[in-house]
């Protein structure tokens, strides 16, 4: 088995270039979600976009490090939808490293960190157009929370919100 992965804090000032590089490698998913390959605005959003009614201090950003290589990135919003929820806004693994249980190990680490911080529930929204991700999250123990269909104001994607009780 390979060395374990490490979740390392990312900052906009220091890691925007690394994040854009990773997002470009994972352009398959980014294009599915936002309709174009990742650009600077996508990375700005990754670092700064907040859920309704929360400020930027709620955001946590991690790089998934396998040795010196950043093979994934994650954004979490603390306090959405409830104060003791962690909302996983994005989890992206480089396609060259998918299917090697890295995602599983990342989720295990997120669960441990969230528990240590007194978080009660993990939540996230999956695109219904992304059935492999849905299968992944179900295998990690997440269950259906609610449907979040596209609205006239939204980006046009139907989503399913999943939850994991810690």
Binding residues for ligand COA, rule: CB under 6 A, are 29, 91-93, 98-104, 124, 126, 130, 132-133, 135-136
- Which is closer to ligand COA, CB of 114 or CB of 124? 124
Taking alpha carbons only, the member of 15, 50, 49, 20 closest to residue 37 is 20
- Which is closer to ligand COA, CB of 32 or CB of 41? 32
- Which is closer to ligand COA, CB of 12 or CB of 140? 140
CB of 130 to ligand COA, least distance (A): 5
CB of 31 to ligand COA, least distance (A): 11
Helix 27-34 crosses helix 12-25 at what angle (to 10 degrees)?
A: 90
85, 121 Cβ separation under 8 angstroms: yes
- Which is closer to ligand COA, CB of 29 or CB of 59? 29
- Which is closer to ligand COA, CB of 57 or CB of 74? 74
CB of 46 to ligand COA, least distance (A): 13
Please give the residue whose beta carbon sits closest to ligand COA in the complex: 103
For the chain, helix (H) and strand (E) counts, in that order, are 5, 7
CB of 131 to ligand COA, least distance (A): 8
- Calculate Rg over the CA atoms of the chain: 15
Q: What are the CA-CA distances from residue 57 to residues 112, 128, 135 (Å)?
A: 21, 30, 31
23, 39 Cβ separation under 8 angstroms: no
Q: What are the CA-CA distances from residue 155 to residues 22, 128, 151 (Å)?
A: 23, 13, 8
CB of 143 to ligand COA, least distance (A): 14
């Amino acid at each position: 088995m390979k060395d374990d992965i490490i979740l390392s804090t990312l900052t906009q000032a220091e890691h925007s270039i690394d994040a854009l590089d990773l997002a470009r490698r994972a352009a398959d998913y980014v294009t599915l979600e936002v309709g174009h390959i990742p650009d600077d605005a996508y990375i700005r959003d990754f670092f700064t976009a907040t859920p309704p009614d929360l400020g930027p201090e709620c955001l946590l950003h991690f790089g998934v490090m396998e040795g010196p290589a950043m093979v994934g990135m994650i954004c979490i919003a603390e306090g959405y939808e409830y104060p003791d929820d962690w909302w996983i806004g994005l989890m992206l693994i480089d396609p060259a490293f998918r299917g090697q249980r890295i995602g599983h190990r990342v989720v295990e680490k997120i669960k441990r960190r969230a528990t240590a911080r007194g978080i009660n529930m993990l939540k996230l929204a999956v695109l219904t157009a992304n059935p492999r991700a849905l299968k992944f999250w179900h295998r990690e123990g997440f269950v259906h929370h609610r449907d979040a269909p596209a609205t006239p104001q939204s980006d046009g994607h139907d989503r399913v919100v999943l939850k994991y009780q810690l």
